[in-house]
Structure 1
């Protein structure tokens, strides 16, 4: 009788353990997180140029529901992009020394500014590597203009809000390493850490003063 009891206990333990493993294997929806990307720029120039000054910069993404804040921090300054999850409106903050600009975009403006990334198609490859502890699959993205880029993504993390990374919004998971073009230079973003702690709502507030305010159309004329 004791032997039968022990077998029953072991069987239940195995079933429970298997159930927990199956639960742990389920993808995690990214509703709230702080994601840090390291940025590397390969200019292959012996003489430093503006792009070289961005080498070693970081990109920090704050996610809370459908809202997001992306910050690129470098030796040149900080540029932040805040997406309002309720309205779809976008605010871009540029802080370079004493120059501070706030550019307001509607949802349509934001879509227009990213039109080169519309209709990106991905080819998924049977190649994998581990980045920050996550198993990542390789994919090749192709833009409408014929250019392509490489990305490694994980299916273990599924962003609820995808507009913060327009280039990779069609991926079935979070981009953990990807390429982007900055002029003629190739920039590589690689996740260095992901924090799932609560993100303060104040992160998505916009400044009330201290910035030169511009519309999207005005910002295009200023470039």
Structure 2
């Protein structure tokens, strides 16, 4: 009986230690930079002046990318698999609606990618222990990321390449203009996100197909 009790207690301890918390309300801010020493100074400074903010609430997500030259907002709904992209260039505002099929087509470049999870390489980001993963694209290019193992967002598919990552991605690489760009979380707030953050504008935007 004692052995059975000890075994159950050990199993419970392991479960508690490894159980993930699903985060269904949060705001995460990312800093943007490039490690490319050959990058143009203006590009480097523009990236440093840019931010990315992710809002998650239940099955909805919103991603704001703000730079000195443009603003882009991506609204994604997990239930429908659809998205809306809002772009602003000065006084010009554009809206693109993507249903489930169009959203998949938008992310077609990630088809055939493979994800390798490291069990040994870790780093701490915002107090969370993060494990390393490597995404290999079908063209052979590789991108590193680090994800928190203790938490997982209630919506992951808005970052299509992270949909199979078993945690909350707090640092990652992406490519733009043939340069690797690094996004690193600098703040995470788990306070409730106002539902109004996910309202679509009713005027002022030109609808693009």
TM-score, L = length of structure 1: 0.81
Distance in 2 between the 1:57 and 1:47 partners?
16
Number of the residue aligned with 1:144: 138
5+ residue gaps, structure 1, are 1-18, 216-223
Which of 65, 71, 80 is residue 78 of structure 1 equivalent to? 71
Once the two structures are superposed, the pairs formed by residues 174-193 of structure 1 within 5 Å of their partners are 174-193=168-187
- Tell me how far 1:107 sits from its aligned partner: 1.1
Distance in 2 between the 1:147 and 1:135 partners?
26
Q: In structure 2, the residue corresponding to 1:163 is in which secondary structure?
A: coil
Q: Rg: which structure is higher?
A: 1
Conservation of the 8 A alpha-carbon contact between 1:141 and 1:150? yes
Aligned length: 197
- Tell me how far 1:148 sits from its aligned partner: 0.7
Question: What is the CA deviation profile of residues 96-146 of structure 1, one whole-angstrom value per residue up to 9, with x for unaligned ones?
Answer: 211111111111111111111134322222111101100011111111121
Distance in 1 between the 2:172 and 2:39 partners?
25
Number of the residue aligned with 1:94: 87
TM-score, L = length of structure 2: 0.86
Conservation of the 8 A alpha-carbon contact between 2:78 and 2:157? no
- Tell me how far 1:85 sits from its aligned partner: 3.3
Number of the residue aligned with 2:156: 162
Conservation of the 8 A alpha-carbon contact between 1:41 and 1:52? no
